[in-house]
């Protein structure tokens, strides 16, 4: 998950990895590799999407992601990013966390309704992203991967005093969570890459 | 509380202090009657080193006052200003107060007399006397010139390395605030922040705080109650994550435990009370001043999914009577923890069901009540709950989804 606070921690704690390897393409260094304009598999490889232009994949090691999550960005994680949650199973959280952390991102449950998943995302931003203010701006039904999913729109003010906007489109398929989450600085960046996000969501298919 | 230290520098300073403080010998309690203010109205920095510190702090205040994390509610900020007026002693007119929307149990006094209160502190106070107690304690740091005394004390006593670490802390701390990182400041934690001063200075601030409180007509016992609440909250938070309370305590082993500090506060409070005079916690006034903001503050806390701390806060507030809001957040705590082993979903459902029985239940309580009913297959009742939600909040951002749940 592409969260500012997390990025700071990860950068401080880990040496920068070289080429990500798993991504295969390009010769990214510093934890980034190029995503070409063609269908690519993301996360645990159970989801394929086609971006309308080139994006940058952020190394999972840089963000200490779980295996089912993958992050992309255009201008760096402080400004914009797309995260893919692929086939997240019951009882797992979308981030790496220790059972003894005081504050925790709620675990995903197979029987969660969209408002519960939205609340889970809100806690993700509050607990791990340092969001001080977080508001849902819309939650509406939306077809995703051929399932009855949802679209969740939100705005948040983070501890770096930047206001950001986000949109998540997701569905629970066979008891597992599939979600594509877009989050960017509210001024300029959000609108600039929203069409890319929409095009990626439309292109998504399970493989 | 000197804000001018990063956590790293803090550890360095702590280690330095630990090296010079005598071990384990209980010091005599500082008496409230000995605590006279060292500054008068309109105080300005006198010496060269203090002037330098003030210059830095004036820049920090400029940044802080422009932060978009501040709560700018005019009614609330003027209320906080009144409290400083009540317990600020001779500097009452010189001190400034900023309220930041950060769900942490903390407050910070800067050397130039401005203080940041974090919304998480306001949430936890049960009455005006408790809040005034925190402000009185912070004022005492200013009135007794603690920042500069601590600074000089460190220079005299500690070796050159911790002195350098503290210098680095000043630069780092200021840079941190410039970057708008109030959150980091807040998250140093009350205990940790309080321990930044050596024990004599903290004991002074406690003793003087109690005295300022009583002189203003507040129940001085409020300060030890605040400590009691903090300790119990940290204990419960740790217990829910199956660990021991905040290990930060152990870093400062030579300092008095929070328990002994609480005991001293109680004795001092009894001492400053004048027989025949009445002391008030001013609970109603406090609740009225906070009525608009309390739901938001509770929401900010509960959504951090720290169930032990949140449950403690809800139960503490409920000592003054349960209501729809508190029952609703009780449900929220279990829903977010969502442990299957402990049937959290059922407990959440009970919380929401209890909440909607109160006339002041927030609209959200009806939505979650409906969702829980829906998940149990009780669709007819769920529909009724959703209908009530939409009636109370027709423009809710999730209305489209709730309508779908009503038909699906």
Q: Is the pLDDT of residue B195 over 50?
A: no
| pLDDT for B202 | 83
Asked whether the predicted pLDDT for residue B4 surpasses 80, the reply is no
What pLDDT, on a 0 to 100 scale, did the predictor assign at position A195?
98
For residue B164, pLDDT beyond 70: no
A111, A118, A132, best to mutate vs chain B, most B CBs in 10 Å:
A132
Taking the Cβ of residue B175 and every Cβ of chain A, the question of whether any pair is shorter than 8 Å is answered with: no
Question: Would you state the torsion angle of the CA atoms of residues B128, B131, B134, B137, taken in this order, to the nearest 10 degrees?
Answer: -20
Give A105's contacts in chain B (Cβ within 8 Å): 305
Taking an 8 Å cut-off on Cβ atoms, the answer to whether B242 and A104 are in contact is no
Structure tokens at B223: 């300060």
Q: Which residue has the higher pLDDT, B375 or B342?
A: B375
**Pairing relation of β-strands B96-100 and B114-118?**
parallel
Residue of B nearest to A102 (CA): B306
B375 versus B251: which is more confidently predicted? Answer: B375
Model pLDDT, residue B32: 94
The single-letter DSSP state of residue B27 is: P
Looking at per-residue confidence, does A122 or B258 come out higher?
A: A122
Query: Looking at residue B342, what is its pLDDT?
Result: 85
Measured N-to-C along each axis, helices B199-215 and B258-272 cross at an angle, to the nearest 10 degrees, of 30
Please list, in sequence order, all residues whose beta carbon lies within 8 angstroms of the beta carbon of residue A119, skipping any fewer than 6 positions away. Answer: A106, B303, B335, B336
Please tell me the predicted confidence (pLDDT) of residue B244. Answer: 67
Kindly indicate the confidence band of residue B145, based on its pLDDT and cuts at 50, 70 and 90: confident
| B199 C-beta neighbours (distance < 10 Å), count | 17
Average pLDDT, chain B: 82
CB contact under 8 A, B305 and A106: yes
Higher pLDDT, B320 or B217: B217
B404 touches chain A (CB under 8 A): yes
From the list A102, A123, A140, the residue facing B303 with the nearest CB is A123
Residues of chain A in contact with residue B335, where contact means CB-CB under 8 angstroms, are: 116, 119
**According to the model, what pLDDT value does residue A188 have?**
96
Query: Which chain A residues are within 8 Å of B243, Cβ to Cβ?
Result: 100
Q: Helix and strand tally (H, E) in chain B? A: 21, 3
**How far is residue B183's CA from residue B175's CA, in Å, rounded to a whole number?**
14
Distance of alpha carbon B140 from alpha carbon A172, whole angstroms = 56
Beta strands A131-144 and A147-158, pairing class:
antiparallel
Say what the pLDDT of residue B256 is.
59
Q: Are the Cβ atoms of B305 and A127 closer than 8 angstroms? A: yes
User: Cα(A132)–Cα(A81) distance, rounded to whole angstroms?
Assistant: 20
pTM of the complete model: 0.85
Coil vs helix vs strand at B23: coil
Q: What is the CA radius of gyration of chain A?
A: 16
The ipTM, to two decimals, is: 0.88
pLDDT averaged over 10-residue windows placed end to end, chain A, 207 residues: 51 37 46 94 95 92 73 94 95 89 93 97 92 96 97 94 96 97 97 98 97
Nearest residue in B to A154, CA atom: B397
B355 DSSP β-pair partners: none
HSE of A175, CA atoms in CB hemisphere, 13 A: 4
Evaluate if residue B117 carries a pLDDT over 60.
yes
pLDDT score for A63: 60
Instruction: Find, in chain B, the residue whose alpha carbon is nearest to that of A127.
Output: B304
Closest CA to A129 of B4, B235, B237, B303: B303
Chain B residues with CB inside 8 Å of A9's CB? Answer: none
Q: Give Cβ neighbours of residue B140 (< 8 Å, ≥ 6 apart).
A: B35, B89, B146, B204, B205, B206, B207, B208, B209, B212
On chain A, the residues whose CB falls within 8 A of the CB of B304 are 103, 123, 126-127
Q: Give A-chain residues touching B181 at CB under 8 angstroms.
A: 159-160
CA distance readout (Å), A161 to A39, A105, A134? 36, 22, 13
CA distances from B112 to B3, B96, B259 (A): 11, 9, 30
Task: Look at residue B6 in the predicted model and tell me its pLDDT.
Answer: 30
Residue B400 and residue A136 in contact, taking contact as beta carbons nearer than 8 Å: no
Cβ distance A102 to B309 less than 8 Å, yes or no, reads: yes
The neighbouring-strand residues paired with A141 are A150
User: Distance between CA A141 and CA B404 in Å, rounded?
Assistant: 7
A134–B303 CB contact, under 8 Å:
yes
Please give the pLDDT value at position B63.
Answer: 85
Residue A185 neighbours by CB distance under 10 Å: 17
Q: Find, in chain B, the residue whose alpha carbon is nearest to that of A135.
A: B397
Q: How far apart are CA B30 and CA B213, in angstroms?
A: 16
CB pairs under 8 A between A and B: 99
Which residues in chain B are closer than 8 Å to A99, comparing Cβ atoms? 241-242
Kindly state the DSSP code that residue B280 receives in the 8-state scheme.
B
Q: What strand order describes the sheet that includes B107-109? A: B96-100, B114-118, B107-109
The residue of B192, B305, B345, B370 whose CB has the most chain A CBs within 10 angstroms, and thus the best one to mutate to test that interface, is B305
Beta carbons of B305 and A139 less than 8 Å apart: no
With a cut of 80, say whether residue B285 has pLDDT above it: yes
């Amino acid at each position: 998950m592409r969260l500012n606070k997390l990025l700071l921690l990860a950068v401080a704690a880990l040496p920068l990895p070289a080429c990500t390897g798993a991504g295969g393409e390009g010769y990214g260094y510093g934890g980034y590799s190029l995503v070409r304009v063609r269908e690519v598999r993301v996360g645990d490889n159970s989801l394929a999407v086609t971006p309308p232009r080139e994006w940058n994949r952020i190394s999972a090691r840089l963000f200490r992601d779980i295996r089912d999550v993958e992050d992309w960005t255009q201008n760096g994680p402080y400004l914009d990013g797309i995260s893919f949650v692929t086939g997240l199973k019951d009882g797992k959280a979308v981030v790496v966390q220790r059972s003894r952390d005081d504050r925790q991102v709620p675990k995903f449950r197979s029987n969660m309704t969209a408002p519960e998943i939205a609340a889970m995302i809100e806690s993700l931003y509050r607990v791990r992203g340092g969001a001080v203010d977080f508001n849902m701006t819309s939650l509406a039904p939306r077809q995703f991967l051929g399932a009855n999913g949802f679209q969740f729109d939100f705005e948040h003010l983070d501890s770096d005093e930047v206001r950001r906007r986000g949109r998540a489109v997701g569905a629970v398929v066979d008891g597992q969570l599939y979600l594509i989450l877009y989050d960017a600085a509210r001024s300029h960046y959000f609108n600039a890459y929203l069409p890319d996000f929409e095009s990626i969501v439309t292109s998504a298919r399970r493989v | 509380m000197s804000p001018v230290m990063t956590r790293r520098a803090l550890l360095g300073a702590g280690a330095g202090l630990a090296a010079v403080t005598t071990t384990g010998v209980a010091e005599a309690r500082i008496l409230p009657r000995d605590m006279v203010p060292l500054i008068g109205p309109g105080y300005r920095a006198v010496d060269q080193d203090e002037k330098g510190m003030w210059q830095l702090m004036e820049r920090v205040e400029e940044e802080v006052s422009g932060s978009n994390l501040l709560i700018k509610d005019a009614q609330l900020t003027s209320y906080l200003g009144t409290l400083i007026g009540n317990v600020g002693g001779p500097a009452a007119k010189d001190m400034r107060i900023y309220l930041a929307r950060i769900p942490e149990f903390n407050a910070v006094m800067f050397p130039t007399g401005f203080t940041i209160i974090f919304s998480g502190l306001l949430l936890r106070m049960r009455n005006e006397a408790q809040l005034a107690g925190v402000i009185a304690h912070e004022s005492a740091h200013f009135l007794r010139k603690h920042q500069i005394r601590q600074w000089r004390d460190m220079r005299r006593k500690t070796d050159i390395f911790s002195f350098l670490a503290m210098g680095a802390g000043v630069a780092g701390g200021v840079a941190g605030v410039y970057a708008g990182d109030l959150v980091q400041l807040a998250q140093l934690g009350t205990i940790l922040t309080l321990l930044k001063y050596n024990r004599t200075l903290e004991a002074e601030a406690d003793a003087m705080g109690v005295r300022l409180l009583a002189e203003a007509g507040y129940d001085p016992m409020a300060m030890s109650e605040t400590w009691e609440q903090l300790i119990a909250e940290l204990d419960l938070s740790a217990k829910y994550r199956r660990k021991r309370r905040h290990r930060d305590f152990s870093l400062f082993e030579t300092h008095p435990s929070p328990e002994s500090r609480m005991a001293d506060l109680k004795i001092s409070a009894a001492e400053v009370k004048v027989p025949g005079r009445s002391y008030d916690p001013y609970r109603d006034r406090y609740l009225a001043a906070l009525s608009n903001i309390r739901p938001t503050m509770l929401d900010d806390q509960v959504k951090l999914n720290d169930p032990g701390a949140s449950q403690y806060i809800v139960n503490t507030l409920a000592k003054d009577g349960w209501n729809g809001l508190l029952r609703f957040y009780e449900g929220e705590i279990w829903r977010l923890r969502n442990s299957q082993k402990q049937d959290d979903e059922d407990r959440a459902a009970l919380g929401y069901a209890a909440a909607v029985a109160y006339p002041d239940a927030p609209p959200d309580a009806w939505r979650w009540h409906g969702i829980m009913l829906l998940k149990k297959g009780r669709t007819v009742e769920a529909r009724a709950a959703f209908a009530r939600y939409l009636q109370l909040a027709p423009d809710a951002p999730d209305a489209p989804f709730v309508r779908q749940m009503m038909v699906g």
